[in-house]
Amino acid sequence: MQRRTLFAVAAVMVALLLICGCTGTTSDPTPAEKQQLRIATTTSLYDTKLLERLTPIFEEEYNAEVLIVSAGTGKAIEYGQRGDVDVLMVHDRVREDAFLADGYGVNRRVFAYNYFVIVGPESDPAGIKGMQPEAAFTAIREKGMAGTPGVVFVSRGDNSGTHSKEKAIWKGAGFNYSADVQGSGDWYQEAGTGMGATLEMANEKQAYTLSDIGTYLAYKGDLDLVTLVDEGDILLNIYCAMQINPAKYPDINSTVAKDWVNFMISDDVQKEIASFGVDQYGRPLFYAAQDDWEKIGVPQAEVKDPIA
């Protein structure tokens, strides 16, 4: 008796499983004719709403649907490595180089750049205003370690492109990041979140942080933080788009991915990028990379040549 009941229950469950399996496939939300393009992007391009401005133009022109997952550069690269997206939009030349060298990515094109800024409270308790970035970091660390009241640095702490840049600045200032900075005291706090959220957190704590200028300007209205350091070669911030290698993941949407990368370096979009945010913030959030390849030190082909 017992056994028969159990068997009956098991049979019902198997039947349900089959039904669910069928309904699962029928509700699969893939529009028939439209191509889907999956992009993993760094948060700054998303939070500034640049992509929100560009995607409708692309969708119209290419009859595609753009699905954007906004994550830090580290996470975006992870999605790319796993073949879960078709295009990466990130800003970390060093890790991009490794990604390309490992064969995960192809056809990198640089479409925009801007600069990182060190922002902090107007009172500037560490006195870094107008310093070079490396000197400013040294001063923040020194004052922070000494327990000067109000000296706190909030780090992205999420392996994003901005976090990479921060580490590079610490290195440039002569510190070993994991030994001298990370966990060296209450003055250094890791947020583990996106740029916007990190700025909100730094604002709440009236702390220093490193931000890309685009996200900072887009959030400025809500923040009491001011730009303290904005000059120094190391602060250059270069954005690229690249395809995930179709040789690695053959069923990837490589045609529309190629269209997207070419779209980003097209004259129209470059103009769009150069003017984006001017009406709202009085200055552009990003500079178009098109004519400045020499200035930002990338090969001309990465800026000018569309993918064949």
Partner 1 sequence: MYEIIEGFVEAIRLIVTLDPDVMAIAARSVIISLTATVLATLFAVPLGAAIYFGTFRGRKGLINLIQTLYALPTVVVGLLIFLLISRVGPFGSLRLLFTPTAMVIAQTVLILPIMTGLTISALSGVDPVLRDTLRSLGATRLQFLVNIMKEARFAILAAVAIGFGRAISEVGAAILVGGNIMASSFASSTRVLTTAISLETSMGNISESIALGIVLLIIALGVNLAITTVQHR
Beta carbon nearer to partner 1, 251 or 279: 251
Q: Are 143 and 57 in contact (CB under 8 A)?
A: no
Q: Select the residue interacting with partner 1 from 53, 59, 192, 307 (CB under 8 A).
A: 59
65 makes contact with partner 1 (CB under 8 A): yes
Query: For partner 1, which is the closer residue by CB, 105 or 125?
Result: 105
What is the rounded distance in angstroms from the CA atom of residue 269 to the CA atom of residue 89?
15
- Least separation in angstroms between CB 129 and partner 1: 25
- In the complex, least distance from residue 108 CB atom to partner 1, rounded to whole angstroms: 21
- The strand pair at 153-155 and 208-212 is best described as parallel
What is d(CA 25, CA 40) in angstroms, rounded to the nearest whole number?
A: 25
Number of residues that bind partner 1 (CB under 8 A): 42
- CA dist 296 → 21, 82, 155, 234 (Å): 52, 30, 25, 11
- With binding defined as CB under 8 A, does residue 283 bind partner 1? no
**φ and ψ at 238, to 5 degrees?**
-110, 125
In terms of CB distance, is 52 or 291 closer to partner 1?
A: 52
Pick the binder of partner 1 from 124, 180, 190, 200 (CB under 8 A): 200
Angle of helix 133-145 versus helix 161-172 axis, rounded to 10: 80
Among 38, 93, 109, 258, binds partner 1 (CB under 8 A): 38
Q: Is 27 in the site for partner 1 (CB under 8 A)?
A: yes
Among 35, 36, 182, 255, binds partner 1 (CB under 8 A): 36
Least separation in angstroms between residue 222's CB and partner 1 is 4
Phi-psi region of 78 (alpha: psi -120 to 50; beta: other; left: phi over 0): alpha
Position 32 contacts partner 1 (CB under 8 A): no
- The one-letter amino acid at 19: I
Any bridge partners for residue 210, and if so which? Answer: 118
Least distance from C-beta 198 to partner 1, angstroms?
A: 9
Q: Are 172 and 234 in contact (CB under 8 A)?
A: yes
- Rounded distance, CA 239 to CA 246, Å? 22
193 binds partner 1 (CB under 8 A): yes
Contact between 28 and partner 1 by CB under 8 A: the answer reads yes
Q: Give the separation between CA 18 and CA 12, rounded to whole angstroms.
A: 10
Q: Which of 214, 246, 238 is nearest to 47 (CA)?
A: 214
Among 1, 32, 101, 179, binds partner 1 (CB under 8 A): 1
Residue 83 contacts partner 1 per CB under 8 A? yes
Q: Which of 145, 197, 226, 296 binds partner 1 (CB under 8 A)?
A: 197
Dihedral angle computed from the Cα positions of residues 148, 154, 159 and 163, in that order, rounded to the nearest 10 degrees: -80
Residues that bind partner 1 (CB under 8 A): 1-2, 4-6, 9-10, 12-13, 16-17, 20, 24, 27-29, 31, 34, 36, 38, 47, 55-56, 59, 65-70, 82-84, 193-194, 196-197, 200, 219, 222, 249, 251
